Structure 1
């Protein structure tokens, strides 16, 4: 294991996704720990660590892509949380999801908006629970 990539990726994952990212990694340990390792090393240790975009811009792109794919709701929820964690406002995220109605269609935009509604409700419960 390349500890530098893994450690860089793990630190970024914690900063961006908090416990949600860690939960995904832990959930893979009993079935495919290599997938967990690769999820940390490549996306976070290699790509997110690059200097070409800030974390907010990377999360905007990720939320748009996952929304457009239309079949990645669990991952979309993680990255909707991440977008909020790295500085996106609720209004900005709503606009991203609305923008996807043009390029990915209304079903994808609706699914994304409903996922965002769930994320906001869960965050609200954590803050007041």
Structure 2
């Protein structure tokens, strides 16, 4: 079975690609997440850069805006990932989503994940919007 990917076998390439993607998507908020793991799980910080950002976010096929739509929807639907949702709401703004688009994404999740998940997501978004000044 052959898999198509832009990832290389080099961990250094994955790591550097992940750092670049994280900076483009999340800016300082992403770096804060990585830095917060330094004292407890530095290997996990590396995994976070290599797999989600170095391998997945860096793939062709979806632009960053579309990837953040999917991520905001998934984190809202989970209902248990408020800190991660807050980071990705900010990332959505950073890659070109409007406040109105983010609110609509979260409201759409009421249909599939229920009103409590959507209400919690809107609360997280309100906080992220306030911090971003939008």
| Pair in the same fold by TM > 0.5 | yes
| Match for residue 26 of structure 1 among 35, 39, 46 | 35
Of the three residues 86, 94, 101, the one matched with 1:92 is: 101
Question: When the two structures are aligned, how many residues end up with a matched partner?
Answer: 125
Which residue does 1:115 correspond to in 2? Answer: 124
- The aligned runs of 1:41-56 (5 Å cut-off) are 41-56=50-65
Which has the larger share of helix?
A: 1
What's 1:8 paired with? Answer: 17
Shift of 1:100: 0.3
**What is the rounded CA distance, in whole Å, between the counterparts of 2:88 and 2:44 in structure 1?**
18
Please give the per-residue CA displacement for 1:38-81, whole angstroms capped at 9, x wherever unaligned.
00000000000000100000000000000000000000000000
Q: Distance in 2 between matches of 1:120 and 1:80?
A: 8
Partner Cα distance (1:123, 1:85) in 2: 10
Residue aligned with 1:34, SS = helix
- Name the CA distance, whole Å, in 1 between partners of 2:75 and 2:129: 18
Q: Which runs of 4+ in 1 moved over 2 A?
A: none
Structure 2, unaligned runs of 5 or more: 1-9
3-state SS of paired residue (2:27): helix
Give CA-to-partner distance per residue, 1:8-49, whole Å, 9 cap, x none: 000010110011110010010111101000000000000000
Q: Shift in Å at residue 3 of structure 1?
A: 1.1
Query: What is the RMSD computed on CA atoms of the aligned residues?
Result: 1.1
Instruction: Output the CA distance in 2 between the equivalents of 1:97 and 1:27.
Output: 27
Q: What are structure 1's unaligned runs of at least 5 residues?
A: none
